[in-house]
Amino acid sequence: MLKLEAPAKVNLFLEVSRRRPDGYHELATLFARTGVSDTLSFRRTGRPGIRLAVKGGPRELGRAEDNIVHKAAVRFFEAFRLEPDAEIRLEKRLPVGAGLGGGSSDAAAALLGLARLYKVPRSGFRKLAGIAASIGSDVNFFLLGETFAEGRGRGEKLKAVKAGGRLPALILVYPGAPVYTKEAYGALELGSPADIKRRLADLGRLRALLRAGRFTRERAGLLFNRLEDPVLPRHKAVRDAKARLAALGADAVLMSGSGATVFALCWDRAKARKVAAAAARIRKYKVFLTKFC
């Protein structure tokens, strides 16, 4: 039996610069890996086929064949021309439709777990990136294995960002109702060219501060998410969660990805515990007190 964690991410920065001819959007984002995760377990059964069992999630996430983990497994075996005899167990802790990349992280963990289970040589791991890009835009970030990375293109063109210094505690709040990516991008209006240029300069400053170990609460104003523009007016639960975390005294509050999760940063650990405890008392909120890892 092989077991892997599939961590959640947040986006410390997310700007959308244009709509692409292929139907996707051109992004500039800063991914950050968190200490909250799903868990995947793998074993070989000696019986032909791929068997996926899911524990947790809405109605156990429907048919196994429709799950992104199953799709990733199918593509893995096709790409490496291997006969499958695998059982995968997925334990879901991350909410669905939460902007935390749970499905993408599960898919990446599936690829990595199967590569180890079937003893794919290290040189073959490069092929995983191509499989990941065909599954979803965020999957390659989770393959990268870095705490922070800047993403361009659809988010699949990545550069690791090595952070120094003391990082803040992280509080994730899922307000109880999902926001779907297609809806958020469908209602998005792009910023003006001047505004986009200014925001991209902010991303450069944020990246430099992280690398220099000088990302402090005074610099938290550089955090940004363009997708708040279409989501917050349409989703009261997300809007209220952001306002409540700010009112509780968090140093910075931002929606992650296309929502619905809102995250807060606190440079003081005691304050972070108080903010998380107060948020957890609000009905329907799912709260995680964690860190970047």
Distance CA 129, CA 140 (A): 6
Task: Please report, for the domain that includes residue 272, its CATH number.
Answer: 3.30.70.890
> CA end-to-end span of the chain, whole Å?
25
The active-site residue out of 9, 92, 242, 271 is 9
Q: For residues 253 and 42, is the Cβ–Cβ distance under 8 A?
A: no
Single residue among 135, 160, 185 that ends a domain in this structure: 160
Same domain membership, residue 214 and residue 105: no
Span 152-176, mean pLDDT?
96
The active-site residue out of 38, 106, 138, 251 is 138
Same domain membership, residue 190 and residue 129: no
Structure tokens at 77: 């075996």
Task: Please report, for the domain that includes residue 15, its CATH number.
Answer: 3.30.230.10
Q: How many CA atoms are closer than 13 Å to the CA of 15, on its beta-carbon side?
A: 21
- State pLDDT tens for residues 111-121: 999 999 999 99
Single residue among 160, 195, 217 that ends a domain in this structure: 160
Name the residue among 65, 74, 30 with its Cα closest to residue 206.
30
Distance CA 131, CA 117 (A): 17
Same domain membership, residue 279 and residue 195: yes
The reported pLDDT for the residue numbered 271 is: 97
- Is 138 considered catalytic here? yes
Can you give the pTM of this predicted structure?
0.94
- Is 202 considered catalytic here? no
The domain total for the chain is 2
Same domain membership, residue 137 and residue 198: no
Same domain membership, residue 186 and residue 149: no
- State pLDDT tens for residues 125-159: 889 999 999 999 899 999 999 999 999 999 999 99
The reported pLDDT for the residue numbered 58 is: 63
Domain span at residue 113 reads: 2-160
The reported pLDDT for the residue numbered 201 is: 98
* Residue 272 burial class via C-beta count within 10 angstroms: exposed 0-12, middle 13-18, buried 19 and up: buried
Q: Which helix (DSSP H) or strand (DSSP E) does residue 49 occupy?
A: strand 49-55
- State pLDDT tens for residues 212-244: 999 999 999 999 999 999 999 999 999 999 999
Name the residue type at position 23: G
